[in-house]
């Protein structure tokens, strides 16, 4: 299952570790948010459940092993490597912050400690699933905030970077604060509320728009949302007014949403449909949602697609997976990288969250004073010790933390930088690793 869904070099290194007799050495890798994307004051950690599922199900099928054997890169690989693949299971440890945790620049989302090839192999998948879901959950939290209490629904699968990306985007968007998703599989798989009524093609497929509305009402009744911009929006709004109850609302997908929403609101109210909601869609994002509300648009909920699932104002999440410790023959060695602009910190880590700041320390430190240690054991020696939370609980946890975070870190543009300081012990460790490395040169 997905064992080959990894960069080839994870596998060539695996063969190399066996060749060097290092396959039993225990390595510790951190998966860290190197820096926050532009205009982000925090990140909402997401994707842990998929990381856990991946690690617990990692196996190599016989045909996958045969494929590797056929590659030039494995012509000199030791036979023990293929035996290792055949017997492969993840037998290491996973430590992580719970999904929904707010993270800041330089903080790890998870730590893997395992025999070196097991930890190495997982790099590619973990970076992708944590990076992507964290990006989406963060974006969703911004849109939800901009909507000031109005519901925001994730409609992005058609714009997602591959259909499967849409399924997990629905999950991450819900964690970040969306009310639900249009992705039906995401709804079924993760237990998320699903939304959707009809498209322009529905209206077009009938000879008369009114007839298309009538059938929709019969089907969806008090859940009916009419899409009213296929031809003439005002005309369609009057048709909705004539149909009367039951109806949930109407959706506007193009045009001047401020003016249209006000005009439509008047038509609906005049027809006694004041409880009928107006939903807006069409290339929306947190900035446009904020502007619509500021400009007095009469909108009760928003559907967001493209900008939620691809986050074009801050594409990608700068996450890295770096070796921090290695243990061989009972001796622990701390490691770091000193490349220009790409330095990393040695040693397994813990995040101590104080009232007004975070301290990034070594995993074995005790905090001074009142602090929460955010990184918890999830898998120990290949066994799940902390099953993923129900998705609703994850979302509630996100909401509680966002509420506690002071205003200046929420700003949609140029938010303040949350204070994250290194513990004295981590600073000393970093210095000593750097010095001993320079001494060795």
- Taking CB under 8 A as the rule, does residue 326 contact a second copy? yes
Buried b (16+ CB within 10 A) or exposed e, 195-228: bebbeeebbeeeeebeebbeebbeebeeebbbbb
Span of 106-114, 143-151, 221-229, 418-426 interacting with a second copy by CB under 8 A: 221-229
Mode of pairing for the β-strands spanning 93-96 and 26-35: unpaired
Name the token pair of 297: 């648009």
Mode of pairing for the β-strands spanning 180-181 and 376-380: unpaired
- Taking CB under 8 A as the rule, does residue 207 contact a second copy? yes
Helix (H) or strand (E) holding 320: strand 318-328
Query: What is d(CA 95, CA 378) in angstroms, rounded to the nearest whole number?
Result: 5
Tell which one of 266, 332, 337, 400 touches a second copy (CB under 8 A). 337
Neighbour order of strands in the sheet with 93-96: 331-334, 318-328, 26-35, 108-115, 93-96, 376-380, 383-384
Dihedral sign from CA coordinates of 288, 34, 180, 275: negative
Tell which one of 41, 98, 108, 131 touches a second copy (CB under 8 A). 131
Tell which one of 142, 145, 322, 349 touches a second copy (CB under 8 A). 322
Q: Binding string to a second copy for residues 81 to 120, with x set by CB under 8 A, is what?
A: -----------------------------------x---x
Closer residue to a second copy (CB): 320 or 384? 320
- Taking CB under 8 A as the rule, does residue 274 contact a second copy? no
Closer residue to a second copy (CB): 79 or 356? 79
Closer residue to a second copy (CB): 80 or 424? 80
318 three-class SS: strand
Tell which one of 101, 141, 144, 230 touches a second copy (CB under 8 A). 230
Closer residue to a second copy (CB): 162 or 274? 162
233 three-class SS: helix
- Taking CB under 8 A as the rule, does residue 327 contact a second copy? no
Span of 21-29, 96-104, 270-278, 357-365 interacting with a second copy by CB under 8 A: 21-29
Residues 262/298, Cβ–Cβ less than 8 Å: yes
Tell which one of 39, 306, 401, 427 touches a second copy (CB under 8 A). 306
Q: Binding string to a second copy for residues 281 to 300, with x set by CB under 8 A, is what?
A: --------------------
Tell which one of 215, 270, 390, 416 touches a second copy (CB under 8 A). 215
Question: CB of 117: closest distance to a second copy in angstroms?
Answer: 10
Residues 321/31, Cβ–Cβ less than 8 Å: yes
Q: Count CB atoms within 10 A of the CB of residue 383.
A: 9
Of residues 236-255, which lie at the interface with a second copy (CB under 8 A)?
Answer: 253-255
Burial class (CB in 10 A: 0-12, 13-18, 19+), 404: exposed
Closer residue to a second copy (CB): 199 or 294? 199
- The CA-atom distances, in angstroms, between 331 and each of 222, 288, 315, 327, 334 are 67, 56, 41, 5, 10
Query: What is d(CA 192, CA 42) in angstroms, rounded to the nearest whole number?
Result: 24
Question: CB of 92: closest distance to a second copy in angstroms?
Answer: 15
Query: What is d(CA 299, CA 282) in angstroms, rounded to the nearest whole number?
Result: 13
Residues near a second copy (CB under 8 A), total: 110
Tell which one of 69, 89, 91, 201 touches a second copy (CB under 8 A). 201
- The CA-atom distances, in angstroms, between 326 and each of 114, 323, 330, 367 are 10, 8, 10, 24
Question: CB of 421: closest distance to a second copy in angstroms?
Answer: 25
Span of 12-20, 98-106, 359-367, 395-403 interacting with a second copy by CB under 8 A: 12-20
Span of 64-72, 102-110, 352-360, 411-419 interacting with a second copy by CB under 8 A: 64-72
Nearest to 414 by CA among 285, 323, 313: 313
Q: Binding string to a second copy for residues 164 to 193, with x set by CB under 8 A, is what?
A: xxxxxx------------xxxx-xx-----
- Taking CB under 8 A as the rule, does residue 232 contact a second copy? yes
Of residues 339-378, which lie at the interface with a second copy (CB under 8 A)?
Answer: 339-342
Tell which one of 38, 244, 272, 316 touches a second copy (CB under 8 A). 316
Closer residue to a second copy (CB): 234 or 390? 234
Place of tokens 């193009």: 254
Name the token pair of 77: 């690989």
Nearest to 258 by CA among 229, 291, 304, 218: 291
Would you say how long the chain is, in residues? 441
């Amino acid at each position: 299952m997905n064992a080959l869904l990894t960069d080839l070099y994870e596998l060539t290194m695996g063969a190399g570790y066996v060749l060097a007799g290092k396959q039993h050495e225990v390595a510790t890798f951190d998966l860290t948010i190197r820096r926050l994307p532009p205009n982000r004051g925090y990140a909402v950690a997401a994707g842990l459940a998929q990381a856990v599922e991946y690690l617990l199900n990692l196996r190599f099928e016989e045909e996958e092993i045969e494929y590797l054997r056929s590659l030039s890169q494995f012509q000199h690989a030791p036979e023990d490597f293929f035996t290792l693949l055949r017997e492969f299971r993840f037998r290491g440890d996973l430590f992580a912050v719970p999904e929904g945790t707010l993270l800041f620049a330089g903080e790890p989302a998870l730590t893997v400690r395992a025999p070196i090839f097991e930890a190495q192999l997982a790099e590619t998948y973990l970076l992708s699933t944590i990076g992507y879901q964290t990006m989406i959950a963060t974006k969703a939290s911004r849109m939800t905030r901009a909507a000031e209490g109005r519901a925001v629904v994730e409609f992005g699968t058609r714009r997602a970077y591959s259909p499967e990306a849409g399924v997990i985007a629905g999950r991450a968007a819900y964690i970040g604060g969306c009310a639900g998703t249009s992705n039906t599989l995401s709804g079924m798989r993760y237990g998320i509320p699903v939304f959707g009524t009809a498209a322009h093609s529905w209206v077009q497929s009938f000879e008369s728009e009114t007839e298309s509305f009538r059938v929709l009402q019969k089907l969806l009744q008090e859940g009916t949302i009419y899409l009213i911009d296929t031809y003439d929006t005002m005309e369609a709004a009057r048709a909705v007014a004539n149909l009367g109850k039951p109806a949930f609302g109407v959706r506007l997908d193009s045009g001047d949403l401020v003016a249209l929403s006000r005009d439509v609101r008047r038509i609906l109210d005049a027809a006694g449909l004041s409880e009928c909601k107006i939903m807006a869609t069409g290339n929306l994002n947190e900035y446009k949602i904020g502007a619509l509300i500021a400009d007095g648009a009469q909108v009760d909920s928003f559907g967001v697609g493209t900008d939620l699932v691809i986050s074009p104002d801050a594409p990608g999440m700068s996450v890295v997976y770096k070796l921090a410790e290695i243990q061989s023959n009972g001796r622990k060695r701390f490691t770091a990288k000193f490349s220009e602009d790409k330095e990393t910190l040695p040693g397994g880590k813990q995040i101590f969250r104080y009232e007004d700041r975070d301290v990034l320390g070594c995993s074995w430190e005790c905090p001074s004073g009142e602090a929460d240690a955010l990184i918890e054991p999830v898998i120990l020696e290949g066994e799940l010790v902390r099953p993923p939370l129900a998705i609703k609980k994850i979302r509630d946890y996100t909401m509680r933390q966002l509420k506690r975070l002071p205003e200046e870190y929420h700003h949609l543009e140029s938010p303040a930088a949350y204070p994250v300081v290194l513990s004295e012990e981590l600073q000393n460790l970093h210095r000593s690793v750097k010095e001993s490395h320079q001494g060795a040169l």
